[in-house]
Structure 1
Amino acid sequence: MFEQLTELVKQYGGNAVVNNPAVPNEQNDAVMNEASSSIVDGLKNMVAGGNISELAEMFQGNNAGNASNPVVKNLIEQVSGNLGSKFGLSNEASTGVANSLIPQVLESLINKAKNPNDSSLNIQDIINSISGGNGGGLMDAVSKYGGQFGLDQNNDGKVDMEDVTSVVSKKGGLGGLLGRLFGK
């Protein structure tokens, strides 16, 4: 996922970083690399902090590009702070870079992961990346037992992220999914 994210940051970094007079040209690549790292670290911190529902909402919805989305807002603050402290950018400059870059990158990342015609990235890849590979444990349990509890939403004979996303969005969020899985 990090490679795809880095490519998206480079793709959208033209106006936010390269053409930004507040960012010295010799720091363009370093600023974009820091933005990529900060996004991944921020997502990992959200998982570690238990903000799973906010992340799930972002993955399900169409608001990944909205600066008022709590995940986007949190990442903007983190990236802005990191750019300011590591590169000496003013608060205005670092916030401007983050505000311009983060919503576009996240929206593109989520759209790419949700696109069935684009196999370069999927939501499972993102979950594994931001959960340190521990997202698989939950997905393994859901896949193994989910069919028995009616979680195969698209009737394709397997329970995967598409089914999980459908259940979470229709049936009361993550609590509804776990409730159905564990019979509560």
Structure 2
Amino acid sequence: MFEQLTQLVQQYGGDAVVNNSAVPNEHNEAVVKEAGNSIFEGLQKIASEGGAEQLAGLFNGSTPIDSSNPVVQQITQQLTGSLGEKFGLSSADSSGVASNMIPQVLNSLVNKAKDPNDSSFQISDIINSISGNSGQASGIMDTISKYGMQFGLDQNADGKVDIADAVAITQSKGGISGLLGKLFGK
């Protein structure tokens, strides 16, 4: 999972790092690597500190993935501090790099994990990877499922919300607009 995350960070690192005059070119690769490490470690920290609801909100789309999201805020703060400490970037420059890159990478990660046609990321693999133990992973997945159940998304009545339910909704309820209507109560 870390390798795929690193690829996403490299993909979005162009504007935030490579094309940024505040980041010396000799540090571009190391700054991109640090961003990947910060995202992974930040998600691990949130999972280890009992942030199941925050992670569930991130992965099920119930909270926007922008600067108002607590997960984005925590990882952005961590990366900002790290860039200043390790590469001597000013606070404003570090914050600019982090706040440009973190929401983009997390949005892409979540969208890829939710896309049934993209097997590069699976939500369960991501959760298992960041949680480090099955108890935490199970708790996070249970929280994601619980919120899905509250929205009435358990289409096959198996007691959990998973990809089979998403397929059932999109096939029987008007495609993706039907799925979004279910989520937003329309």
Alignment of 1:13-92 (within 5 A): 13-61=13-61, 63-92=63-92
State how far apart, in whole Å, the 1-side matches of 2:137 and 2:9 are: 30
Q: Give the corresponding residue for 1:153.
A: 154
In 1, Cα distance between equivalents of 2:165 and 2:75:
25
**Counterparts of 2:27 and 2:135, CA distance in 1:** 35
Shift of 1:28: 0.4
TM normalised by structure 2 equals 0.75
- Mark the CA change 1:38 to 1:164 in structure 2 (over 3 Å): closer, same or farther: farther
Q: CA deviation at 1:3?
A: 1.1
Which residue is equivalent to 1:123? 123
State the alpha-carbon separation in 2 of the partners of residues 76 and 164 from structure 1: 33
Q: Contact between 2:9 and 2:35, CA under 8 Å: does it hold in 1?
A: yes
The residue identity in structure 2 corresponding to 1:107 is N
How many angstroms apart in 2 are the aligned matches of 1:37 and 1:161? 29
| Cα RMSD, aligned residues only | 2.9
Which runs of 5 or more residues in structure 1 are unaligned? Answer: 143-151, 171-184
3-state SS of paired residue (2:22):
coil
Which residue does the alignment assign to 2:134? Answer: 134
Q: TM-score by structure 1 length?
A: 0.75
Are 1:64 and 1:106, in contact at CA under 8 Å, matched by a contact in 2? no
Paired residue secondary structure (2:154) = coil
Please give the alpha-carbon distance, in whole angstroms, between the structure 2 residues aligned to 1:157 and 1:164: 9
- The number of residue pairs the alignment matches comes to 157
**Shift of residue 133 of structure 1?**
4.3
Task: Pick closer, same or farther for the CA change 1:137–1:36 going to 2, 3 Å.
Answer: closer
User: Residues 62, 3 of structure 1: CA spacing in aligned structure 2 closer, same or farther, 3 A cutoff?
Assistant: farther
Deviates more, 1:128-137 or 1:25-34: 128-137
Q: Mark the CA change 1:24 to 1:137 in structure 2 (over 3 Å): closer, same or farther.
A: closer
Q: Sort the Cα spacing of 1:130 and 1:31 in 2 relative to 1 into closer, same or farther, 3 A.
A: same
Query: Relative to 1, partners in 2 of residues 1:157 and 1:56: Cα closer, same or farther, differing over 3 Å?
Result: closer
Counterpart Cα distance in 1 of 2:88 and 2:15: 19
Q: Mind listing any 5+ residue stretches in structure 2 that lack a counterpart?
A: 143-152, 167-181
Secondary structure at 1:89's aligned position in 2? Answer: coil
Q: Which whole-Å deviations, capped at 9, do the CAs of 1:95-136 have from their partners, x for residues lacking one?
A: 000010000000000000000010111101110111014258
